[in-house]
Structure 1
Amino acid sequence: MGGLEVRGPKYQSMESALRLVGSKINWKPAQRHLVQLVIATGGLLLTVWLYLNLAPALPSSSSSSSSSSSSPSIMDQGIQTHNQTQCIDFDPAPVSEKLHSTIKLEKYTYNNEDISEFVCSIMNHDMNLTAKLDCSASIDSRYGHLRPSPSASPRIQYYFALDLYQAMHIILPLMGTIIETMRYLGPEYCALSIVEGRSTDGTYAILAGLKTELAAMGVPYFLSRSYLDPKASGENRITALSHLRNLALEPLIEEGNKKHGRLSANSTILFINDIVLCPEDILELLHQRVLQSATMTCAFDWNANGGSFYDSWVSRSMSGNLFFEVTHDSQHWLADDMFFDHPDSASRWDHSLPIQVYSCWGGMVTLDATPFIQGKVKFRSSEKDECYMGEPMTLAKDLWGQDLGKILAVPSVNVAYEYDRARDAKDKRGYVDKIVGHTQYSKEEEMVKWQKAPPPQVKCMPVFGRQWWTTPV
């Protein structure tokens, strides 16, 4: 219904009556035209009258805008229920062994009791019962500035985003650490978005079971499923991964484009892979982003025994080269020679100080949310005329293209993708609290001297056996 086509029964009956009168009287041509004009004018005036009287019930552009701005925020809608927690006084110790034994099974059907135990074990997580990591028992005052000042109308400042598939093997320490970090930062300032895909190990059931608990905390929670398989035959893996990452950011972007949304103007994205980590790992990345005014900060993820850096395919130093040299036969025997062709970065690496890089990921990143909300950048695959590279590298390239090349790799944050690998990585490479608390960790030297221009060339490596140099932007 729109424009002047609003015609009610009253108008229709009056118009019919006028037409009937006109048809019964034998008028001269001029008089007949005059009557027709009167009828048309009367019909028009009646239509205008009806339109003006019906207008309050119709959506105008101004009322639509007002309605949109006053409608419930998507972040508020993300809190689907305000039920109280079901996990009060839950002791995860007695069920820890049972949960671990079921995780190891190739096929296991979890009943409602199992799901409840998993959920409550996450909400009352104890790293000593799961990954056996020596995480700090308390949060250092170093991170106190990350906690927003109390507000009557709190705004979302931290947006946690994950894409998970078959994650049961690490779901307890992963989600437990995220929940613990949210409690420290303030649940009312956090939101969580997870895209789960095709899992058959119970991952989705556990994530769905967290809804009530997160609602009780006051955390907006967006859980969706995607059956897109990045490894499917004929599928472009990077295109698929980019789509899944963008999908996890959709609630953030929708909220950020609302006129009166709950999103803070300086909000941060925390994209976390299926890793094992401590709360300090997340907080240190956030701390460095704020301290250094960085656009992006990255962790370091490690292979078995903490021996070689995992994300070498998508990481480039300020020399434009890989973090360590990978030979053309894909061997990592030079993995200990990190930042081998960039002396300043190598020196900072030796002292575990933050390092400016061209690109990185490392299993976990923090990102300035603004360029995503404004549509300046998104996760994407390579264009036809570009080097084939992973979505973290195309993101870095686009950030540099927007003069947002403040990208930081943080050596004090060491993570991995399995319990034993995480223990090995932290035992060999260090825990955050022990590194930043060491007397040799200079707070003056901690500050980076930002290089505004990207490297003149960047190593293109579609596969380890094919490497060449290309222009970065």
Structure 2
Amino acid sequence: MRRRLSALAVPLIVGFIVATALFMSRDRLVRPLFRHGAGDRRPPKPVTDGAILPAANITQYLDAILTSQPSTLPTLRCPALNSTTRYNVLKSKESFDPAIQYFFALNLRQNLPLLPRLIGSIVEAIRFLGPAQCALSIVEGNSPDGTADVLAALQPALEKMGVEYYFESSTIDPSKDDRVGRLAQLRNMALAPLSELKGKVTGNTTVIFLNDVSACSEDILELVHQKKALGADMTCAMDWTYAGEHPTFYDVWIGRTINGDSFFEIPPDGNWDSAWNLFWNADETRDRFFRQRPFQVFSCWNGAAAFTAQPILEGDIQFRAANESAGECRQGEPQLFCKDLWFKGYRKIAVVPSINLEYSVEKGERIKASKGYTSDLVSKQDSADDQIDWRLDPPDMVRCMPTWANQYWQSWNETLKP
């Protein structure tokens, strides 16, 4: 009798286990993947009304940024970090190391809906890396939506975490004349605290400069990880937009391949019909892109970049506008930044195509669904294949595109020649 009961019990137990597994799997697919991290806490003191937002609204955003509690605010669902050891090498080995190893910099304007995801991911990355080894610098400007109210209210919580936090509002408006020059000013303002942190920041400090993108903490950490693993001077993500039904690479005005050409071809009439045909004339780059392996470029930014602080600290490089009066091609400040890096000998610049970003919560979800989450992509790869055979000689000529209708080739170091 006992043997018969045992025989009956086995299929019942197996069935229960299978049903439970299916239920848990289903639950994981439909539930948002909220952030998890040690030290989650509410803001340490009551929040007051801001210039635009009432205290209750500010508190709602702070809770979404600083805690792992479910929020009614829309956000990109991101995987938790606590299941990976890939990024442990980025943590400081010395618990009392006074050096700032990671300097986060942002320029934000009217980005309130993005703050729970973008700043929340930065906070999660900082907690992972070690707050004492991190600094955060944000320059905000011209935000009628309350972005500044939330960013200012972050200070007590970040200081309690042990993070060096610098926040400033600016009246500089890039929509006015000299757009590139004004954007360069704002970027330099975000980097200015590096000089105040002398003695704490070193040539080994990594600057992580993020645009107003919908990014997961794993995107940020992968960017830094690849910079370290590749021995790169600078790494960039891939950023996308939806010009139509399908994702389109966004930062085509800035990005130049290692051959000096744009990432895709744009004819004089400015149409993006060839946007699907990335790296059409650079076979090795195209191959590495489709295999989702890092590839060397002349210039990039693509929504997020990690680069060495050394040339900034030495005063060799800052963001700038083109010297058009001397004949330099009019181009974006990130492209000029890369050009100056090359000129100063920092020539290992790479794009990491496993990191895919967009500029809104809703479309950020679509990009992750289309391109994949970073952790899913890298989990299927052998990191040995990531290594780049660095080319230390720049292309002789680089495509200049002051406008779509006016494109020509110019010496890579025009106006920088000794």
Which category describes the TM-score, using the shorter chain as reference length? Answer: 0.7 to 0.9
Shift of 1:425: 1.3
CA gap 1:448/1:225 in 2 versus in 1, 3 angstroms: same
Q: Which is further off, 460-469 or 127-136?
A: 127-136
Q: Name the CA distance, whole Å, in 1 between partners of 2:80 and 2:116.
A: 18
The residue identity in structure 2 corresponding to 1:405 is R
Contact 2:97 2:133 in 1 (8 A): no
Q: How many residues are treated as equivalent by the alignment?
A: 364
The 3 A distance-change label for structure 1 pair 153 and 137 is closer
Aligned partner of residue 366 in structure 1, secondary structure: strand
| 1:228 is aligned to 2:168 | no
- Determine which of 224, 235, 249 is the counterpart of 2:191: 249
Give the structure 2 partner of residue 422 of structure 1. Answer: 364
Contact 2:203 2:313 in 1 (8 A): no
1:191 offset after TM fit, Å? 0.4
CA contact (8 A) 1:125 1:173 kept: no
Structure 2: how far apart are the matches of 1:405 and 1:316?
Answer: 13
Question: In structure 2, do the counterparts of structure 1 residues 455 and 125 end up closer, same or farther at CA, with 3 Å as the change threshold?
Answer: farther
Of 119, 131, 154, 1:175 maps to: 119
- Judge conservation of contact 2:41–2:66 (CA < 8 Å) in 1: no
Mean CA deviation greater in 303-312 or 121-130: 121-130
2:37 match: none
Question: Distance between the aligned counterparts of 1:306 and 1:182, measured in 2?
Answer: 33
The residue that corresponds to 2:32 in the other structure is none
Shift of 1:306: 5.2
In structure 2, the CA distance between the partners of 1:374 and 1:186, relative to structure 1 (3 Å rule), is: same
Specify the code of the residue in structure 2 equivalent to 1:204. A
Q: What are the superposed Cα offsets for residues 321-362 of structure 1, whole Å, 9 maximum, x if unpaired? A: 111111222111111211111111011011000010000001
Matches within 5 A, 1:286-325: 286-304=224-242, 307-325=247-265
- Aligned residue for 1:48? none
Structure 1 residues 126 and 456, CA gap change in structure 2 (3 angstroms): farther
1:456 pairs with 2:400: no
Partners of 2:284 and 2:374 in 1: how far apart?
A: 22
Is 1:127–1:135's contact at 8 Å kept on the other side of the alignment?
Answer: no
Aligned to 2:81: 138
Secondary structure at 1:149's aligned position in 2?
coil
Q: Per the alignment, in what secondary structure is the counterpart of residue 357 of structure 1?
A: strand
Partner SS state of residue 326, structure 1:
coil
Bigger strand fraction: 2
Distance 2:298 2:364 in 1: 26
- For 1:183-212, what per-residue CA distance to the aligned partner results, in whole angstroms no more than 9, with x for missing partners? 000111100001111211101110011011
- Kept after mapping to 2: 8 A contact 1:306/1:425: no
- Is 2:57 the partner of 1:114? yes
Task: Return the index of the structure with the highest Cα Rg.
Answer: 1
CA deviation map 1:92-128 (0-9, x unaligned): xxxxxxxxxxxxxxxx942112212211221015698
Deviation at 1:311, TM superposition (A): 0.5
For the 8 Å contact 2:241–2:358, the answer to whether it is kept is yes
| Secondary structure of the structure 1 residue equivalent to 2:259 | coil
Q: Is the deviation greater in 312-321 or in 300-309?
A: 300-309
CA distance in 2, matches of 1:142, 1:206: 32
What is the percent sequence identity of the aligned residues?
37
Whether the 8 Å CA contact 2:74–2:113 is kept in 1: the answer is no
Structure-1 residue corresponding to 2:13:
none
1:149 pairs with 70, 93, 96, which one?
Answer: 93
Partner of 1:263: 201
Give the gaps of 5 or more residues in structure 1. Answer: 1-83, 89-107
Query: Does 1:344 find its partner at 2:275?
Result: no
Give the corresponding residue for 2:219.
281
Aligned-partner residue type, residue 108 of structure 2: L
Q: Give the direction of change, closer, same or farther, for the CA distance of 1:151–1:125 in structure 2 (3 Å limit).
A: closer
Q: Is the 8 A contact 1:460 1:468 kept in 2?
A: yes
Task: Give the match's secondary structure for 1:142.
Answer: coil
Instruction: Show structure 2 runs of 5+ residues with no match.
Output: 1-39, 45-50, 414-418
Report the CA distance shift for 1:270/1:451 in structure 2 as closer, same or farther (over 3 A).
same
C-alpha displacement of 1:130: 4.9
Q: Please report the TM-score for the alignment, with normalisation by the length of structure 1.
A: 0.74
Distance in 2 (alpha carbons) for counterparts of 1:127 and 1:343: 46
Q: Which residue of 1 aligns with 2:317?
A: 377
Alignment match of 1:197 (pick from 128, 141, 149)? 141
SS in 1 for 2:385: coil
| 8 A Cα contact 2:125 2:217, kept in partner | yes
The match for 1:436 among 378, 383, 388 is 378
